[in-house]
């Protein structure tokens, strides 16, 4: 299916509205790559100019980098002066060594002058080792700062629609950001309009689950003048929290090589790192499918909501009684899941169960994924959606993005999948937003 056809399906039957204004594009190669998927998403439909967001200047690795990181023996100021004359900035100095990044000519000069070079690493390798970002081939994925740049750009460009605020801090002190789409209320002001919340990346390595809600937010802003989207925006209170676990996510990419991190970055008393945030929510906390061992990938934490990240989500949701629907993006497996996940019993309220099933079925149609009760995958207590439904009556879903397997799937499916995955999940998300006034209306529309 072409992008145009997908978007035509997405946009229901209402014709396109006028294009949005586009701020100046960030022309850096990295920003170009990062903005590419969504540009295609929109431009190929012949629709809105894409409002690109200014990003900090990137430092791409030159194609033919003639520099080296080196460590040279030097113990006196005189030696260091001479080394400096050869063209070496001394980034680090110890009693008997200096290290820094130099051109190959400096290496030759130092050797000619008789200096002993203990270590030399080509710059391309050095950057791979120490780059605090996604590997270059996955530059389209946004790190924490780039995600924040995107959200700030949306809020600045759309003051009558988008507001940005933090729902709380992570265990390492990073803000957990939310953008709100509401035409009449901003920031933390309460709203009587039915609310929908979209979240991503409870699990650090599931970076695609940050991109999808981010792209949903960008889509809503870019298409705000389309009559169907306008109608949704005027009648709903929509929140997007793309990165619930910012510490884990940044740790996962900190060296330029993925770390396969799942949990948050809590340093447990025995020094094992992390709590599984999707086992830390308060409904049936501590039950099957979660672990009490700190070393476990499904460690549930010492108590329900022990983690600042889940506590922030809890506070956010409990402060907003208008929230009616929730979608938490994870990866991977191509599934649309509904409660219960902590029990293999079905939801007792027959009308709610019917609505959950009908909505999941429809979202599965939009995405091509499989819909089922979460426990059909496996029983696991303490996840977001069980708590949201049990404690707040919210129609809460988990979507597992991307296929299984190594090619175009798994936790690191590559940047090539972003556009397609976003397209179908934006459709499912718009559907969920549209139902948020009364999720039961889905019954009978299967
Ligand atoms: O195990 C999880 O938390 C989710 N899968 S993931 O691979 N992203 O880790 C699935 C949660 C679904 N809920 C339950 N089965 N309870
Ligand atoms: Zn997950």
The two structure tokens encoding residue 267: 């340093």
36 has pLDDT over 90? no
- The predicted pLDDT at position 129 comes to 57
**pLDDT for the residue 403:** 75
Distance 128 CA to ligand 1 centre (A): 31
* Matching residue, tokens 């605090």: 132
* pLDDT tens per residue, range 123-144: 767 766 555 689 889 999 999 9
Q: Which residue owns the Cα nearest ligand 1 atom 4?
A: 330
- Quick one: average pLDDT of 344-370? 98
In terms of pLDDT, which residue wins out, 78 or 379?
Answer: 379
CA-closest residue to ligand 1 atom 12: 374
302-344 per-position pLDDT tens digit: 999 999 999 999 999 999 999 999 999 999 999 999 999 999 9
**Phi-psi sector, 393: left (phi>0), alpha (psi -120 to 50), beta:** left
Q: What is the DSSP letter of 279?
A: G
Q: Radius of gyration (Cα) for the chain, nearest Å?
A: 24
110 falls in which pLDDT band (50, 70, 90)?
very high
pLDDT at 18 over 70: no
User: What is the arithmetic mean of pLDDT over 78-92?
Assistant: 84
Where does the pLDDT of residue 404 fall: very low under 50, low under 70, confident under 90, or very high at 90 and above?
A: confident
Ion ligand 2: protein residues whose beta carbon lies under 5 Å: 203, 206, 330
Does pTM top 0.85 for this prediction? no
pLDDT of residue 256: 82
Mutating to test ligand 1, I would choose from 278, 340, 412 the residue with most ligand atoms within 8 A of its C-beta, which is 278
DSSP 143-156: -HHHHHHHHHHHHH
Q: How far is the CA of 209 from the centre of ligand 2 (A)?
A: 9
Q: What pLDDT score does 21 carry? A: 27
Kindly tell me if the per-residue pLDDT of 62 is higher than 60.
no
Q: How do residues 151-176 score in pLDDT, each as one tens digit?
A: 999 999 999 999 999 999 999 999 99
Nearest ligand for residue 382 CA: 1
Annotated active-site positions, please?
Answer: 400
Instruction: Give the atom of ligand 1 at the shortest distance from the alpha carbon of 330.
Output: 8
User: Which ligand lies nearest the alpha carbon of 341?
Assistant: 1
Average pLDDT over residues 284-311: 96
Give the number of the atom of ligand 1 that is nearest the alpha carbon of residue 209: 8
Best probe residue, ligand 1, of 341, 371, 401 (max atoms within 8 Å of C-beta): 341
- Between strands 395-401 and 117-122, the pairing is unpaired
Task: State the closest ligand 1 atom to the C-alpha of 386, by its place in the atom list counted from 1.
Answer: 16
From ligand 2's centre to the CA of 171, what distance in Å?
19
CA of 408 to the centre of ligand 2 (A): 17
Nearest atom, ligand 1, residue 380 CA: 16
Considering the chain, what percentage of its residues have pLDDT values greater than 70? Answer: 82
| Between residues 293 and 18, the one the model is more confident about | 293
**Phi, psi values for residue 118, rounded to 5°:** -75, -40
What digits encode the pLDDT tens for the residues 190-203?
Answer: 999 999 999 999 99
Average pLDDT in the chain? 85
For the CA of 377, the nearest ligand: 1
Using a 6 Å CB cutoff, which residues line ligand 1? Answer: 203, 206, 278, 330, 337, 341-342, 374-375, 377-378, 380, 383, 398, 400
- Find the mean pLDDT for residues 44-59: 35
Tokens 């629907």 belong to 325
Q: Is the pLDDT of residue 25 over 50?
A: no
Among 133, 139, 341, 354, smallest CA distance to 251 is for: 133
Nearest to 207 by CA among 418, 397, 57, 66: 418
Would the pLDDT of 249 be above 50? yes
Q: Output the CA–CA distances (angstroms, integers) from residue 349 to 23, 89, 133, 251, in the order listed.
A: 49, 69, 46, 41
Q: Which atom of ligand 1 is nearest to the CA of 400?
A: 8
How much distance in Å is there from the Cα of 399 to the middle of ligand 1? Answer: 9
**Top mutation candidate among 277, 344, 369, 383 for ligand 1, by most atoms within 8 Å of CB:** 383
Q: Which domains does the chain have, with CATH numbers?
A: 3-59+134-257+299-442 (3.40.630.10), 67-131 (3.30.70)
Greater confidence (254 vs 213) lies with 213
pLDDT at res. 7: 34
Distance 206 CA to ligand 2 centre (A): 6
Looking at residue 271, its pLDDT comes to: 86
Query: Does 40 have pLDDT greater than 50?
Result: no
Q: Which ligand is nearest to the CA of 245?
A: 2
Please give the pLDDT value at position 89: 79
Atom 14 (ligand 1): residue with closest C-alpha? 341
> Could you tell me if 196 and 437 are in contact, meaning their C-beta atoms sit under 8 angstroms apart?
no
pLDDT at 387 over 50: yes
Q: How far apart are CA 378 and CA 376, in angstroms?
A: 5
For residue 446, the CA-to-ligand 2 centroid distance in Å is: 28
Which pLDDT value is given to residue 342? 97
The SS3 of residue 102 is: strand
Share of the chain above pLDDT 90, in %: 69
């Amino acid at each position: 299916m072409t992008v145009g056809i997908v978007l035509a399906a997405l946009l229901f039957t209402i014709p396109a509205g006028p294009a949005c204004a586009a701020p100046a594009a960030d022309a850096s190669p990295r920003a170009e790559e990062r903005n590419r998927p969504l540009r295609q998403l929109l431009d190929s439909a012949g629709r809105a100019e894409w409002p690109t967001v200014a990003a900090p200047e990137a430092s791409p690795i030159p194609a033919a980098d003639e520099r080296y990181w080196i460590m040279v023996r030097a113990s006196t100021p005189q030696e260091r002066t001479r080394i400096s004359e050869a063209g070496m900035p001394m980034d680090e100095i110890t009693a008997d060594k200096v290290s820094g990044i130099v051109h190959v000519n400096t290496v030759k000069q130092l050797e000619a002058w008789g200096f002993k070079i203990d270590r030399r690493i080509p710059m391309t390798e050095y950057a791979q080792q120490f780059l605090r970002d996604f590997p270059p081939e996955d530059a389209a994925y946004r790190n924490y700062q780039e995600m924040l740049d995107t959200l700030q750009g949306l809020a600045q460009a759309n003051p009558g629609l988008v507001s940005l605020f933090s729902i709380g801090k992570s265990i390492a002190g990073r803000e957990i950001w939310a953008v709100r789409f509401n035409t009449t209320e901003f920031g933390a002001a309460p709203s009587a309009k039915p609310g929908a919340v979209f979240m991503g990346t409870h699990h650090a390595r599931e970076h695609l689950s940050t991109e999808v809600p981010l792209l949903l937010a960008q889509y809503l802003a870019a298409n705000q003048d389309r009559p169907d989207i306008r109608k949704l925006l005027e009648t709903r209170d929509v929140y997007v929290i793309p990165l619930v676990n910012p510490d884990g996510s940044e740790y996962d990419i900190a060296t330029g090589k993925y770390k396969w991190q799942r949990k948050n970055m809590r340093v447990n008393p025995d020094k094992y790192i992390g709590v599984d945030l999707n086992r830390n929510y308060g409904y049936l906390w501590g039950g099957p499918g979660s672990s009490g061992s700190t070393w476990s990938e499904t460690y549930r934490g010492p108590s329900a909501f022990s983690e600042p990240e889940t506590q922030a989500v809890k506070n956010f949701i409990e402060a907003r009684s208008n929230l009616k629907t929730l979608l938490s993006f994870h990866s991977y497996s191509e599934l649309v899941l509904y409660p219960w996940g902590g029990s293999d019993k079905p939801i007792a309220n027959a009308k709610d169960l019917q609505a959950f099933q009908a909505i999941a079925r429809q979202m599965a149609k939009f995405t091509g994924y499989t819909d089922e009760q979460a426990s059909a995958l496996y029983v696991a207590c303490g996840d977001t959606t069980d708590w949201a439904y049990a404690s707040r009556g919210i129609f809460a879903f988990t979507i597992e993005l991307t296929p299984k397997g190594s090619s175009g799937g798994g936790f690191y499916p590559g940047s090539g999948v972003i556009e397609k995955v976003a397209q179908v999940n934006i459709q499912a998300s718009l559907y969920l937003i549209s139902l948020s006034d009364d999720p039961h209306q889905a019954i009978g529309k299967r």
